[in-house]
Amino acid sequence: MRHRILGGTGIEVSTHCLGTMMFGSAGNPDHEDSIRIIHTALDHGINFVDTADMYSAGESEEIVGKALQGRRDDVVLATKVHFPMGEGPNRGGNSRRWIVREVEASLKRLRTDWIDLYQIHRPDHRTDIEETLSALTDLVRQGKIRAFGSSAFPAHETVEAYHVARQRGLYRFRTEQPPYNILARGIEGDVLPTAQRLGLGVLTYSPLGWGFLTGRYRKGRHVDLAQGRAARAPERFDPSIPVNAAKLDVVEELVKLADEIGCTLPALAIAFAASHPAVTSVILGPRTMEQLEGLLKGASLVLDDSVLDRIDELVPPGTNIYHPVGLWSPAPLIDPALRRRPVGDRAAAS
């Protein structure tokens, strides 16, 4: 497994990262089976494992903690904080109060004394970014984390955090974790160039586009909206919805392309993400051993310029066929009050 430097940290990580969102009650509830999957990934040269406190309400971290017993020193371990971990106020977000409390809970679940990469899972517009960076800087100085990063941050907030860190003498984000795949290339226009300019490592998630790039969903085939992921979010899979029909049209052409070069569609998708010069590591999120083994088979696939040009023709650089799950949306697009003046102040003349 090839290794790349994680941002400016000097830490070497495998080009494939094992994502563990599917371990626990939200995916694979069998702890022993999940541990075997983690060990198989490590045995194949993956040294980078990514989890989060909110994956299966902490269960994923517990599984990872058990799996890394005796192997912790050889693994670059990443986890995240932000989403609520219980009822009531102040049990989520990016405040110093919550970060300092929740890092201890993650360390306990992970059975480790330190976290290599601690990531802010989403922006929190209720909390001043200086508050967040100050708390994270203190954790680095205490030795509880080695470095920290962000996830699904828009480019302008990444730049803001960079300048606040410089102005206040704080440590800065070293990584960004955005969604990125052939069907969702929007971050090529701003997030990835910004990461390159600031020297950030990039861990991309959702390389298979919520399952559309596995080949499981094909044009003209029935989609059971009562099973699996489709049951949780039928609006993302119903082929009668135009955006989903557009995804299926592109998938048909990608299947042909994969067949021409003699690889699977998932292998093509993951190799595409790893080909971008800003991308450090591509997160694989298997639920089963079979899925992991299938993804590992394509680890040595190299896409030449002619193949990447074909992909560019199908989905132009910097464009999205669909809006990726978890991608940040500007607050004014969500809250009408932020884009509408009071009624009495809207006219140009009184």
Question: Taking a C-beta distance cutoff of 8 angstroms, is the pair 48, 78 a contact?
Answer: yes
* DSSP conformational letter for 255: H
Question: According to the 3-state scheme, what is the secondary structure of 44-99?
Answer: CCCCEEECCCCHHHHHHHHHHHHHCCCCHHHCEEEEEECCCCCCCCCCCCCCHHHH
**Alpha carbon distance, N-terminus to C-terminus of the chain:** 68
Q: What is the pLDDT of residue 336?
A: 83
Q: What is the tens place of the pLDDT at every residue in 312-321?
A: 999 999 999 9
Q: Which of 178, 223, 171 is nearest to 204 (CA)?
A: 178
Cβ partners under 8 Å of residue 31, min gap 6 = 62, 63, 66
Mean pLDDT of all residues belonging to the chain: 94
Return the pLDDT at 223.
84
Share of the chain above pLDDT 70, in %: 97
For residue range 42-87, what is the model confidence (pLDDT) as tens digits? 999 999 999 999 999 999 999 999 999 999 999 999 999 999 999 9
pLDDT of 40 higher than 80: yes
At residue 136, does pLDDT exceed 90? yes
pLDDT of residue 232: 79
Element (H, E) at 231: helix 228-232
Does pLDDT of 328 surpass 70? Answer: no
Output phi, psi for 79, to 5 deg. -145, 180
Token reading at 112? 């480790």
**Predicted pLDDT at 236:** 85
pLDDT 10s digits, 262-302: 999 999 999 999 999 999 999 999 999 999 999 999 899 99
Question: Which one of the listed residues 55, 118, 162, 217 is annotated catalytic?
Answer: 55
> What confidence score (pLDDT) does residue 235 get?
87
CA–CA dist 324, 185 (Å, integer)? 9
Is residue 55 part of the annotated active site? The answer reads yes
What angle separates helix 289-296 from helix 31-43, to the nearest 10 degrees?
10
In this predicted structure, the answer to whether residue 329 has a pLDDT above a threshold of 70 is: no
**The predicted structure's pLDDT at residue 200:** 98
> pLDDT at position 327, please?
66
Q: What is the rounded distance in angstroms from the CA atom of residue 306 to the CA atom of residue 113?
A: 47
Quick: pLDDT tens for 94-133. Answer: 999 999 999 999 999 999 999 999 999 999 999 999 999 9
pTM, 2 dp: 0.92
Per-residue pLDDT of 172-194, as tens digits, reads: 999 999 999 999 999 999 999 99
Q: Which letter does DSSP use for residue 302 in this model?
A: -
Q: What is the pLDDT of residue 340?
A: 87
- 19 strand-pairing partners: 50
